[in-house]
């Protein structure tokens, strides 16, 4: 799984400006921030290195913490700060990865140029209750309604179904309705939605983000829905 920010994620035109604004806010480059506090666009502190653990910080960002901290949600197993975009793309092509199986690859680039610098990290879940809880929550957010529902559903529609089941469009007055669709975004890559913290800003914090793609490739583009519980 991988995230490339800085103009490589294609969203609906009506949401593009807001999406870029969210990325700008996620950098942490606010007035008064000292250099050591500056965050890159995947929310990982710029001074984070392999062996460090991360806990949730401000919305869209992480803080370095001891790996013995019960609040740790990620451990950095490898970091890359000298790789070019061309090298990164070559390693990630055809289902490849720079990280070990089971790890999450998250990266950031400010340009699509082949010579642009890419900052990348390999992340693994530490053995903490917070990490386990976050993993469950992310799995829940990524539950996908079945393709038929995704191709037809519109903002304002309601869905029945839940985690591990198919979702179906139903009338919002139906007692079986569990979710109301509050947002729909076309062209979201699988890698975008599966990277840590990536769905922040796409939907409201209390909503569930669900996505569907035609294949498992990280670059596959599909549809993401914001679902509000009707319960």
**Reduced to 3 DSSP states, what percent helix, strand and coil does the chain have, rounded to the nearest 5?**
25, 30, 45
142-176, pLDDT tens digit by residue?
555 555 677 788 899 999 876 555 778 899 999 88
CA angle 31-53-43, nearest 5°? 30
**How high is the mean pLDDT of the chain?**
72
- Picking from 47, 103, 98, 97, the residue whose alpha carbon sits closest to that of residue 75 is 103
pLDDT of residue 27: 30
Q: Which of 24-33, 83-92, 160-169 has the lowest mean pLDDT?
A: 24-33
Give the other-Cβ count within 10 Å of 39's Cβ.
23
Tokens of 44: 């990982």
d(CA 11, CA 136): 26
> For residue range 188-231, what is the model confidence (pLDDT) as tens digits?
776 666 665 555 567 787 888 887 776 666 666 777 888 899 87
Mean pLDDT for the stretch of residues 12-18: 25
51: pLDDT confidence band, cut at 50, 70 and 90? very high
Lowest average pLDDT, out of 4-13, 84-93, 198-207, 212-221, goes to 4-13
User: What pLDDT is recorded for position 8?
Assistant: 31
**Gap between the Cα atoms of 112 and 116, Å rounded:** 7
Number of other CB atoms surrounding residue 189 within 10 Å: 25
- Residue 204 CB contacts under 8 Å (≥ 6 apart), including other chains: 182, 226, 228
How many C-beta neighbours within 10 Å does residue 76 have?
A: 22
Show the CA angle centred on residue 117, arms to residues 111 and 120, nearest 5°: 105
Q: Which residues, at least 6 apart from 91, have a Cβ–Cβ distance to it below 8 Å?
A: 97, 98
Choose among 154, 137, 121, 150: nearest CA to 199: 137
pLDDT value of residue 31:
25
Q: Global pTM? A: 0.49
Q: What is the mean pLDDT of residues 16-40?
A: 28
């Amino acid at each position: 799984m991988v995230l490339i920010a800085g103009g490589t994620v294609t969203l609906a035109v009506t949401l593009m400006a807001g999406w870029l604004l969210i990325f700008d806010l996620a950098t942490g480059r606010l007035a008064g921030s000292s250099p050591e506090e500056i965050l890159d666009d995947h929310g990982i502190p710029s001074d984070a290195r392999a062996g460090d653990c991360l806990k949730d910080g401000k919305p869209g960002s992480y803080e370095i913490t001891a790996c013995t901290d019960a609040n740790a949600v990620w451990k950095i197993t490898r970091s890359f700060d000298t790789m070019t975009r061309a090298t990164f793309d070559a390693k990630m092509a055809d289902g490849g990865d720079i990280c070990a199986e089971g790890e999450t690859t998250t990266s950031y680039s400010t340009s699509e140029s082949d010579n642009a610098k890419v900052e990348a990290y390999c992340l693994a879940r530490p053995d903490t209750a917070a990490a386990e809880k976050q993993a469950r929550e992310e799995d829940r957010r990524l539950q996908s309604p079945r393709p038929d529902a995704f191709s037809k559903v519109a903002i304002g529609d309601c869905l029945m179904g839940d985690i591990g089941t198919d979702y179906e469009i139903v009338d919002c007055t139906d007692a079986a309705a569990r979710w109301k669709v509050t947002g729909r975004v076309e062209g979201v890559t699988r890698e975008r939605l599966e990277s840590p913290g990536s769905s922040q800003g796409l939907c409201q914090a209390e909503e569930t983000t669900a996505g569907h793609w035609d294949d498992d490739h990280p670059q596959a583009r599909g549809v993401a829905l914001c679902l509000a519980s009707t319960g």
